[in-house]
Structure 1
């Protein structure tokens, strides 16, 4: 993403108007607008695999998966944010005509080297502030590894799933996410890196 300067601050209304006309998606953080970097094939394949897996299992459910064209609205005490997750599940708040929701039940981000710090810090803090959120997933690209933040009675708890034999249980939606499905058609390179500290 590109950084915006103080002089580039825009209102939510102007941001939404800009998005309606723009061919490039932008995220919005307290008046700063950031153009989203283009994603490569691996990133897109993982996102599509996830939404297909969720959709196949949610056919008779009130919950519905969406892939990366739906903004999530986060209203914080000091400012407003709009993010485009790579995949999300919405159960009781269908996206508006402006293509946004503020009640996702699950959010998934595919980690990229260029955006992982923002994803794992700024975005994580915003997503975990959503009262509707039950599960937050971060998916690595270079190896079969998923970070999971799951809501419990004590807040969000961290879980890790590693290897193509692993399965992320999602009892909140009566479904599951096998990593073999999530990483279908992905060929891993010998190089890999360790996940950032949570």
Structure 2
């Protein structure tokens, strides 16, 4: 999805939440400024839906962890920024006490498109890294069979594992392993 700045007066987070509930489309929030999120392609939606379904199915019987789709915001730690990933998971009890966003994700997934790839790899990833609870950041291509899993190691450094056609993807943060083809079944590029 692509963000376009709305020309509104600066809003507080509370004003943003109340205002956005009345809107037909989603908006990200950065320190008082609101940015409209444009829709994605059919492939983007199908791929995002499949990855969410895999995560949700894995966590469906968990008493601790929950899977969240692209309708749920993440509050960036130590800031007044709220963004929408394509999918996420949290195992933090504090996130069960909020209704409009989560703040302590363990897993975040972004489906890449040409218009968002640089942002998702760069500035948005840097924002997500502010969350000490984040263990894995997953970038899923919508233009070819490719998934990148960025995983925080024991030294708090990020390492990447690249997966392509024929590979088995592993998301250690939630104990999920799946054939990459499950995400791309029936997708034509």
Distance 2:77 2:174 in 1: 25
1:109 aligns to what? 110
Q: Is the contact between residue 166 and residue 181 of structure 2 (CA under 8 Å) also seen in structure 1? A: yes
Residues 1:36 and 2:44 are matched in the alignment: no
Distance 2:178 2:32 in 1: 36
Residues 1:88 and 2:88 are matched in the alignment: yes
Match of 2:72 among 58, 70, 73: 70
Q: Is the contact between residue 145 and residue 160 of structure 1 (CA under 8 Å) also seen in structure 2? A: no
Measured after TM superposition, the shift of residue 14 of structure 1 is 1.3
Residues 1:53 and 2:54 are matched in the alignment: yes
1:158 aligns to what? 159
1:168 aligns to what? 169
**Runs of 4+ residues deviating >3 angstroms:** none
Distance 2:165 2:138 in 1: 16
Measured after TM superposition, the shift of residue 3 of structure 1 is 2.8
* Structure 1 residue runs without a partner (length 5+): 189-198
Secondary structure of 2:157's aligned partner: strand
Q: Is the contact between residue 42 and residue 186 of structure 1 (CA under 8 Å) also seen in structure 2? A: yes
RMSD between aligned residues: 1.8
Secondary structure of 2:173's aligned partner: coil
* Structure 2 residue runs without a partner (length 5+): none
Secondary structure of 2:24's aligned partner: coil
Number of residue-to-residue matches in the alignment: 184
Q: Is the contact between residue 71 and residue 82 of structure 1 (CA under 8 Å) also seen in structure 2? A: yes
Distance 1:8 1:158, change over 3 A: farther
